[in-house]
């Protein structure tokens, strides 16, 4: 009984399907070319057409209502030019047209920032700012849900000229021609003491 009702419903829908084909055919649209091509290969045109319509509608719904974006989690680490970690950096994330996607917000080193509904292939720009450092920017293309990146922060350094005098501990006389070096972070400066026992260094970071 149920199968008979189901068969009746199918037959009624199929009749409407062919009525639609007749309507478009009278309008000069060659819809039977598609229909006959399927049936000549032994394929039922009506159920195949319904299946294709369902797939098409589902795809359109997914694009316009669900969206094609992802929510990338971006883990950002910050280092200065001496490979020391930097925390308390304020970041702003924008897309290629300047729309703000996140921030400005102060973050810790290694913190993860999650964005929402970002289309794959979007170019984003991360701007990092902190007092005592030059502004830094990093461009990233969103390709996956998890992104790890690092930004180098250029620490602003006040340089001074420095002099050191070497004296003999016992006589107090100047030590001439001595090799003197000053090391700060990964930087080393060398000088030779003069007749007064003095060695001069230019551009020493002020601490």
Residue 193 CA, chain-centre distance (Å), reads 52
One domain for residues 141 and 89: yes
Give CA–CA dist 151/155, Å, rounded: 12
Neighbour tally for 89: CB within 10 Å: 22
One domain for residues 110 and 53: no
One domain for residues 18 and 79: no
One domain for residues 74 and 146: yes
Give CA–CA dist 126/189, Å, rounded: 35
Whichever domain contains 141, its CATH number is: 2.60.40.1120
pLDDT tens digits, one per residue of 50-79: 888 888 877 666 555 545 678 899 999 999
One domain for residues 40 and 83: no
One domain for residues 149 and 192: no
pLDDT tens digits, one per residue of 172-204: 888 888 888 888 766 788 888 898 888 888 877
One domain for residues 116 and 174: no
Q: What is the pLDDT of residue 61?
A: 62
Which pTM does this prediction carry?
0.53
One domain for residues 53 and 11: yes
Q: Are 123 and 101 spatial neighbours (Cβ–Cβ below 8 Å)?
A: no
Q: Are 97 and 112 spatial neighbours (Cβ–Cβ below 8 Å)?
A: no
Confidence of residue 39 (pLDDT cuts 50, 70, 90): confident
Q: Is 145 left (phi over 0), alpha (psi -120 to 50) or beta?
A: alpha
Residue in the structure block whose two tokens are 């990093």 = 138
Which of 94, 77, 75, 96 lies closest to 146 in space, CA to CA? 75
Strand 146-153, strand 73-80: pairing: parallel
Residue 173 CA, chain-centre distance (Å), reads 63
Residue 147 belongs to domain spanning: 69-153
One domain for residues 89 and 135: yes
Structural domain tally of the chain? 3
One domain for residues 127 and 173: no
Residue 95: C-alpha distances to residues 1, 78, 91, 119 (Å): 61, 21, 14, 11
One domain for residues 61 and 79: no
pLDDT tens digits, one per residue of 122-144: 999 999 999 999 999 999 999 88
132: which 2 tokens?
A: 């005592």
């Amino acid at each position: 009984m149920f199968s008979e009702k189901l068969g009746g419903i199918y037959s009624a829908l199929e009749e409407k399907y062919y009525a639609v084909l007749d309507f478009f055919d009278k309008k000069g649209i060659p819809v039977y070319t598609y229909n006959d091509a399927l049936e000549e290969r032994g394929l039922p045109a009506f159920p195949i057409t319904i299946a294709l319509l369902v797939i098409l509608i589902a795809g359109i719904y997914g694009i316009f209502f669900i969206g094609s974006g992802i929510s990338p989690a971006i883990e950002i680490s910050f280092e200065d030019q001496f490979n020391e970690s930097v925390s308390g950096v304020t970041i702003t994330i924008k897309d290629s047209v300047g729309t703000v996607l996140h921030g400005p917000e102060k973050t810790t080193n290694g913190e993860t920032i999650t964005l929402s509904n970002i289309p794959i292939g979007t170019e984003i720009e991360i701007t990092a700012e902190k007092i005592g450092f030059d502004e830094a920017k990093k461009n990233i293309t969103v390709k996956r849900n998890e992104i790890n990146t690092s930004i180098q922060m250029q620490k602003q350094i006040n340089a001074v000229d420095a002099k050191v005098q070497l004296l003999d501990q016992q006589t107090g006389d100047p030590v001439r021609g001595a090799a003197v070096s000053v090391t700060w972070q990964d930087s080393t400066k060398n000088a030779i003491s003069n007749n007064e026992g003095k060695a001069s260094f230019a551009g020493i970071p002020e601490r």
